Structure 1
Amino acid sequence: MNRLMKMLLLLGIAALSGCISPPPKSNDPYYAPVMPRTPLPVELNNGSIYQAGFETNFFTDRKAYRVGDIITISLNERTQASKSAGSQIGKDSDASMGLTSLLGSAVSVANPFSKTPLSLGAEYSATRNAQGDSAADQSNSLTGSITVTVAEVLPNGILAVRGEKWITLNTGNELVRIAGLVRADDISTDNTVPSNRIADARITYSGTGAFADASQPGWLNRFFISPLWPF
């Protein structure tokens, strides 16, 4: 293998390595559980035992509404998309021209390679055709549940939640991460909310290990299906 082939191979491997997403890492600080902010009791001089921020209402549901509270999200995501396109272009052209006489006399040009004179006429024809078809069909489904914590309470009462769940199996690790915004009105009495009620949702389902590696194409296959392959 000459030097040029080695350089092309190294460049191809380097380009493909940039297309491979790195495996997810655990203990991401962004998805770490958020501890509740313990309010400092205000010094009271009226002798009352009631303190703001520590009250409990016996006639309301125990739903998450403060930073650090726990809420369960029911995952019920289904997406399906299909797309097809086709194009066909064709063009035919013909042209002919000739000069058979000039000022009433026949016109010809001597042929140095033959006794037959050359004609001043010219003809050409061209045909071009281009056809392309493409189709894509994708369907995804994700069901389950994940329990997260309230990371922030916005001024309008919207709860910013996020969290992750790792499941260790005999063939690797399975990861579910979610982050988004939840209305307090969408939280049910059992402190759960469906995932389709989360605004600006960021849901990640991934994994590491032999099972996750087996579902990925090899680096040579990625080269043939990448834009680097010119054919």
Structure 2
Amino acid sequence: MKKYLALIAIPALLAGCATPYPEPHVEMAATPVVNLPPVQPMAASNGSIYQAASYRPLFEDHRARLVGDTLTINITERVSASQTSTSELSKTGSLSAGITAVPGISPKAFGRASAEATSANDNKGKGSNQNTNEFTGAITAVVTGVLPNGHLMISGEKQIGVNRNVDVLRFSGQVDPRMIGQGNAVASTSVANVRIEQRGRGATADAHAVGWLSRFFLNLAPS
């Protein structure tokens, strides 16, 4: 009986060792970052030609305005940061002392009595740090809400599966309608509160992942 309990306990311990290392995730916020007042509902149709809930300019190419409209996002994110620091410290000191006379003792006895000391300290340091990230692509997002100031809350997701591998691209943010250009498209650099996530699922993603045993020891190793 003890032998069977040991066989059951070993897989349980191995499964527990597979989760100590946290996996990072991008927070895909569906609501604005700032607290905004609630949106007042549009008035119901009253039979007139102009309807505020579904108004679209007559002489304008199609652009996203209402909840459910689509909008093309051209992702052109490029972030580059560099930092360089240099420090230098130099310090030099000297000390000299001597005895020429002492009451009751002949001055000749101290002809060679002297003491000298010198000290020097030199410290130099130099550091450099550089980081560059680039992300390009395109995705069509859906308007999920319209703020009181007319800004659009958008969210989109794209999944592509090839040979048991799935690539997932998610995008969300806040768009000013004035930044929407021709073709109902806007650059990601003109979107506020951007959240971008690209992940993979399948054998290719697992090949780049750190094994559970390595994660266990990395979690225990001192930083």
In structure 1, what residue type is equivalent to 2:30?
Answer: Y
Give the TM-score normalised by structure 2. 0.62
Work out the CA distance in 1 between the residues paired with 2:127 and 2:26.
36
In structure 1, what residue type is equivalent to 2:206?
Answer: A
In structure 2, what residue type is equivalent to 1:30?
Answer: A
Q: 1:97 aligns to what SS in structure 2?
A: strand
1:21-69 deviation per Cα after TM superposition (whole angstroms, max 9, x unaligned): 624489x6839xxxxxx97855x5xxx5858335666543221111232
Where structure 1 has 5 or more consecutive residues not aligned to the other structure, the ranges are: 1-16, 32-37, 108-116
Shift in CA distance, 165/122, structure 1 to aligned 2, threshold 3 Å: farther
Contact 1:178 1:203 in 2 (8 A): yes
- Matched residue count: 186
Q: 1:210 aligns to what SS in structure 2?
A: helix
Contact 1:76 1:195 in 2 (8 A): yes
Match of 1:210 in 2: 206
Match of 2:100 in 1: 100
Work out the CA distance in 1 between the residues paired with 2:187 and 2:139.
10
Work out the CA distance in 1 between the residues paired with 2:117 and 2:146.
76
Shift in CA distance, 164/148, structure 1 to aligned 2, threshold 3 Å: same
In structure 2, what residue type is equivalent to 1:152?
Answer: G
Where structure 2 has 5 or more consecutive residues not aligned to the other structure, the ranges are: 1-19, 32-40
Shift in CA distance, 199/25, structure 1 to aligned 2, threshold 3 Å: closer
Match of 1:131 in 2: 124
> 1:190 aligned to 2:183?
yes
Work out the CA distance in 1 between the residues paired with 2:158 and 2:104.
96
- How far off is 1:222 after superposition? 9.5
**RMSD (Å) for aligned C-alpha atoms:** 4.1
1:172-211 deviation per Cα after TM superposition (whole angstroms, max 9, x unaligned): 5544333322121221232211112112333334445235
Work out the CA distance in 2 between the residues paired with 1:157 and 1:206.
32
Work out the CA distance in 1 between the residues paired with 2:119 and 2:220.
36
Work out the CA distance in 2 between the residues paired with 1:223 and 1:135.
29
Q: How does 1:79-158 map to 2 (within 5 A)?
A: 79-103=79-103, 105-106=105-106, 121-158=114-151
Match of 1:14 in 2: none
